[in-house]
Structure 1
């Protein structure tokens, strides 16, 4: 499956639990929607992913990727230390200047 560079980095940095490199995949003003919460900007995104990495130790296995214009949907099997693991999640991505401007995680 062919992935944009930033999506490949997004997956790799998640699987390596590298919060700094993960955050670098996002624009300065990026927004993340996950588990009913909104995280605005790189600092809040870094705090969110560090917390999630500590609690869930999740890794992603990409199953499918579709892109239309500046939007993409990554479907991944996500495994970790959370109830119901593994699960399939969709990562709805919006890109700006080859970085992630918006991420919404859905089940």
Structure 2
């Protein structure tokens, strides 16, 4: 894992990337996650999506840079796994609320 100074809920998200139950603890109850245009609303939908993706791609994520924009944390992340184009760099756009992730959008 990188030595970036990530806010706690974001660091916890990356630390728990293959553990959907632990990952769910990083989000607000009504969080929304968007992955390449597909939207997952609520903890159960996010957990199901993460479990499916983890099993299918065995991807690992390494945050490599962090910036702020419009109240969000933008984390550039090197993602390596069993998918075409691996490794690649993706942008994770986190909006935090009361110490948890309220929304996450993942794009290329």
Does TM, scored on the shorter chain, surpass 0.5? yes
Residues in 2 aligned to 1:101 and 1:36: alpha-carbon distance in whole angstroms: 17
In the other structure, the counterpart of 2:40 is 39
1:29 equivalent to 2:27? Answer no
State the Cα distance separating 1:71 from its structure 2 match: 1.3
In the other structure, the counterpart of 1:100 is 101
Structure 1 residues not aligned, in runs of 5+? none
User: 2:6 is matched with which residue: 3, 11, 17?
Assistant: 3
Q: Residues 46-87 of structure 1, C-alpha deviation per residue, up to 9 Å, x if partnerless?
A: 000000001011111111011357410010100011111100
State the Cα distance separating 1:45 from its structure 2 match: 0.3
Q: Find the residue that maps to 2:16 and give its secondary structure.
A: helix
Over aligned residues, Cα RMSD in angstroms?
Answer: 1.2
Q: Find the residue that maps to 2:28 and give its secondary structure.
A: strand
Structure 2 residues not aligned, in runs of 5+? none
Scaled by the length of structure 2, the TM-score of the pair is 0.92
Aligned length: 105
Regions of 4+ moved over 3 Å: none
